[in-house]
Chain A
Amino acid sequence: MTIVKAPKRAPQHTGPTAAPGAATLVDHKRKARFRRGLLCLALIAIAFVMLVPFLWMIITSLRPPSELGMANPPLIPGELQWSNYSDALKAAPFATYARNSFIIAISHTVLNLVMASMAGYALARLKFRGSTLIMGAFIAALMIPTYTKIVPEFLIVRFMPFFGGNDAFGQGGIGWLDSWWALIIPGAVTPFAVFLFRQFYASVPVELAEAARLDGVSEFGIYARIITPQIKPAIATVALLTFESSWNNFLWPLLVTSSDNLRVIQVGLSVFQNENTTQWSLLMAGTALATLPMVALFLLGQRYFVDGFTHAGIK
């Protein structure tokens, strides 16, 4: 029989006669609290630095024109010019622009989630000839700079057969130009989303799918009902990134549209700028309004979003 002596208990009081072990514990706690305090201060400072551009945007959006001309304007505007917001909304059909941006961003998000997740699932879980090559092609596609794709993509859209007055050879009309097709289809599925989904699907235990297969669940059922619900962070990440890039896209919508009723909010914001002058207060008011949906979306999905980034190793 082994007798284990109880360890000597540290005295409860922490006065001058306190045992050395207790003092170490207190020191340790104090140090931990100090380190935590320092960390909090550093995080508050970083958060403040990140917030400054947004604060500057909001403050500028409320300034009267006279303050914009001051060398050292007051931090808080002397008179809050809320009318900048209504003036900005009157300057252009922002309701139409916002509607268009929403339609495009939602369409891109839904299409990307559906198509890229199916592609990612197939590449991660289905064995078929050429899958490695296809995965390699997706990774290679990630490395192609956006601007090098613009002219070829534009030509594909322009010469799309049977659309916009084009014949079977893509001649005679304008194809998808100046239409919803051009705004939605070319950016609908991104290789990054396929890659991200593939990584997540590959990390889900194979046993789940095998058990479902034994229970007679179809392959689509396994994808849709068993495995995909396990990768919510990936879904949130892809949804948010797709929505954000689509909402903020400026160049492509500008290139493929010429009608005002198809223009998007980022193009709309340019009404406050010309080569020579910028109406800063109105531009900032418009930008603040355009930023709101993205901020709301991030606040709603930030837990999944951070999980997704951590899992995919991106920042």
Chain B
Amino acid sequence: MTLTRRSFLSAVGISSVALSAAACSGPTAGSGPATVATGKLSGQVSLLTPIFEGAAGKALLEQKLIPAFQKTHPDVSFKVDYVNYSALNEKLTTGLAGGTVADVLMLGVGWIPPFAAKGVLAELPAEFADGQGFHPRVLDPSRHEGKLYALPAVLDTRFVAYRKDIFEEAGITAPPQNWEELRGIAKELTRSSGGRISRAGIDAFSIDLRQGWEYALFANGGKLFDETGRKVLFNQREGVEALEFLAGLIKDGSTAFDFRSEAGKPLQLQTGNAAMALVNNAHFMTIQQQSPELIKEGKIGTFLLKNTTEAMFQGGTLASVSARSKNPDAAQTFVRYLASPEVILHTCEYRGSVPAISALASSDYVKNNDFVRFAVDNLDKSVSEGGTPAWMEIRDTIKAAVEEALTGKATAQEALDRLADTANDAIGRLQ
């Protein structure tokens, strides 16, 4: 396995925390079902968050959300540690190794099983999952071995957006129903000049390569791991076909490995340089700010990637309580608050994210955001990454394997078999 900053810190940090977590686990960790906190809350709650890190996010959290919580719980104070996703794992890992982890941790989808399995997270009362109106599917990433460890704060989904005007111009009336159709349409809509693509049929690589391949895997009816999280499934036929599908788009000339929306530049779909693109729901905000005419004129459409199964990739951020929290009752209550409809709505508005609560489908925010509305309507088709306690060691190695296959350095099967070996090693190290 290649030593990277993240893989090294994950391995060292998570293994070193295993011992200390066992020795110092808090009152809600370990035996017995978790109970709902009752009584008067007080004391300080520390929060580690990767989703309020911008200036606007900080203002939202500190001037709106926390003061609203303190109206009900005036004796609870907060200490917030802002970090972005690129350094969240390092921050968590070092904090865990040093025993200074925050009371409330906001983690990504796929992160719950690794940290729950090591005793880092406190179990939440099962009833937290009921009554709020969470779509049942979005709670999957919050659970480990049937127990609830987190609640979704925001969802970030991936699907396909396309230019309706380009489709109409070519006389294409409906989005593709399977990969064969998609490859055909992409090829038809591609334009080249001087040996270079001037308009790609599809911009498939502007989202994270790992997520792009996983999304194709889910749309092909595949899974990353089995139900126990101990058996690798991604190198079976569905995964190989998914990778071959992405590589096939390059072979067809419908896109190129280096054809993507560069940082700081508008999306290729936005400028009309791509007819279709794998997108994140938050891209709607970018288009709204930079090219509002595309939305006004109804030029952007959406559809789910589908080969054998219609699927939507579901990422997001979850709120959980540290097993070593010195103020578990207040932390637990705050986690429930972060996942309440009004807080979710504010957080989603700030980030362009998708609310996990079906009732919010009728809110103005969802109604006025085409991508978010599309995602909310398709939550029953959402599939999440992760699913194994070894995920933190595996996730950073996926991109390299996908890249190998896409650049022709290995066949899809070879790249995924090598990735499976790495994953099996990581799973083999689990206790």
How far apart are the CA atoms of A184 and B351 in the complex, in Å? 35
| CB pair A274 B54 closer than 8 Å | yes
- The answer to whether residues A151 and B97 also contact, given A258-B79, A274-B351 and a CB cut-off of 8 A, is yes
| CB pair A69 B289 closer than 8 Å | yes
| CB pair A272 B85 closer than 8 Å | no
How far apart are the CA atoms of A32 and B56 in the complex, in Å? 60
How far apart are the CA atoms of A255 and B291 in the complex, in Å? 38
| CB pair B289 A65 closer than 8 Å | yes
B275 within 8 A of A: no
Counting chain A CB atoms within 10 Å of each CB, the highest count among B13, B90, B272, B285 belongs to: B90
| Number of B residues with CB within 8 Å of any CB on chain A | 47
How far apart are the CA atoms of A250 and B57 in the complex, in Å? 20
| CB pair A270 B285 closer than 8 Å | no
Q: Is the interface of A mostly helix, strand, loop or mixed?
A: helix
- The answer to whether residues A274 and B84 also contact, given A68-B266, A155-B98, A280-B264 and a CB cut-off of 8 A, is yes
Which segment of B4-12, B170-178, B236-244, B422-430 sits at the interface?
Answer: B4-12
| CB pair B55 A272 closer than 8 Å | yes
Question: For this complex, into which size category does the number of interface residues on chain A fall?
Answer: 35 or more
| CB pair A275 B156 closer than 8 Å | yes
Residues of A140-185 at the interface with B, using a CB-CB cut-off of 8 Å, are 145, 147-148, 150-151, 154-155, 157-159, 174, 177
Residues of B322-368 at the interface with A, using a CB-CB cut-off of 8 Å, are 351-353
Minimum Cβ distance to chain B for residue A218 (Å): 44
Count of A-B contacts judged by CB separation below 8 Å: 103
Minimum Cβ distance to chain A for residue B145 (Å): 28
Choose among A68, A155, A250, A270 the residue that contacts B53 (Cβ–Cβ < 8 A).
Answer: A270
| CB pair A251 B50 closer than 8 Å | no
How far apart are the CA atoms of A91 and B56 in the complex, in Å? 8
A17 within 8 A of B: no
| CB pair B51 A275 closer than 8 Å | yes
B309 within 8 A of A: no
Minimum Cβ distance to chain B for residue A93 (Å): 10
How far apart are the CA atoms of A293 and B272 in the complex, in Å? 40
Which residue of B has the minimal Cβ distance to A92?
B55
- The answer to whether residues A71 and B271 also contact, given A151-B12, A177-B98, A277-B352 and a CB cut-off of 8 A, is yes
Minimum Cβ distance to chain B for residue A248 (Å): 15
- The answer to whether residues A154 and B272 also contact, given A65-B290, A271-B54, A276-B353 and a CB cut-off of 8 A, is no
| CB pair A271 B53 closer than 8 Å | yes
| CB pair B286 A258 closer than 8 Å | no
List, in ascending order, chain A residues with CB within 8 A of B84's CB. Answer: 270, 273-275
How far apart are the CA atoms of A254 and B84 in the complex, in Å? 10
- The answer to whether residues A255 and B91 also contact, given A70-B266, A148-B8, A276-B282 and a CB cut-off of 8 A, is yes
Minimum Cβ distance to chain B for residue A253 (Å): 11
A278 within 8 A of B: yes
Q: Footprint of B on A, CB under 8 Å?
A: 60, 65-66, 68-71, 91-92, 145, 147-148, 150-151, 154-155, 157-159, 174, 177, 250-251, 254-255, 258, 270-280
Could you show 25 A-B contacts with beta carbons less than 8 Å apart?
Answer: A65-B289, A68-B264, A68-B290, A70-B271, A71-B273, A145-B3, A147-B8, A148-B8, A150-B94, A151-B9, A151-B93, A151-B94, A154-B97, A155-B98, A158-B98, A174-B100, A177-B100, A254-B90, A258-B81, A272-B55, A274-B54, A274-B351, A275-B156, A276-B285, A277-B285
Identify 16 new A-B residue pairs, CB closer than 8 A, beyond the known A65-B290, A151-B94: A66-B290, A69-B290, A71-B273, A145-B3, A147-B8, A150-B9, A151-B9, A151-B97, A155-B97, A177-B98, A251-B87, A254-B83, A255-B91, A258-B81, A276-B280, A277-B351
